[in-house]
């Protein structure tokens, strides 16, 4: 929390953990990136560029990247991020934990937007999962 909204110092401190050989530490660093950039508008959009690639990794990194994105873009209703997350919810090959965190991330990003596409994806997931 000491580095909240301090992008330069935050990335500098977190960067060493992003290449760690432990999946859980890498996932935690993705959450930290999202927390440091929470509510910050940046024209270069480094968080999305950084975490978008992590959505195709293992389960822990997917969860960390989703939480990082949800913390950074909460309430933004950004269509490009929503379009990255919805397929993760509908993918039956994902673990239930990933789907649950993707649903939470989608809810945080789309909060108060009445986005029908998000609701449809969540309802489809609920009705098709056993």
Structure confidence by residue, pLDDT tens digits, 25-58: 999 999 998 888 888 887 878 889 889 999 998 9
pTM for the model: 0.88
Q: Tell me: the pLDDT tens digits for 18-33?
A: 889 999 999 999 999 8
Q: Tell me: the pLDDT tens digits for 108-123?
A: 999 878 878 888 888 8
Long-range contacts of 3-11, Cβ-Cβ distance < 8 Å, separation of 24 or more: 3/36, 4/35, 4/36, 4/38, 5/36, 5/37, 5/38, 5/39, 5/40, 6/36, 7/36, 7/37, 7/40, 7/42, 7/46, 10/36, 10/37, 11/36, 11/46
């Amino acid at each position: 929390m000491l580095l909240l909204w301090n992008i330069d110092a935050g990335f500098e401190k977190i960067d060493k953990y992003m290449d760690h050989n432990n999946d859980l530490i890498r996932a935690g660093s993705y959450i930290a990136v999202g927390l440091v950039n929470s509510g910050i508008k940046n024209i270069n959009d480094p968080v999305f560029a950084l975490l978008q690639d992590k959505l195709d990794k293992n389960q822990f990194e997917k969860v960390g990247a989703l939480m990082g994105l949800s913390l950074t873009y909460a309430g933004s209703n950004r269509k490009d991020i929503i379009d990255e997350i919805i397929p993760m919810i509908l993918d039956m090959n994902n673990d239930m934990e990933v789907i649950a965190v993707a649903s939470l991330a989608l809810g945080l990003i789309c909060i108060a937007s009445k986005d029908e596409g998000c609701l449809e994806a969540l309802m489809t997931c609920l009705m098709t999962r056993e």
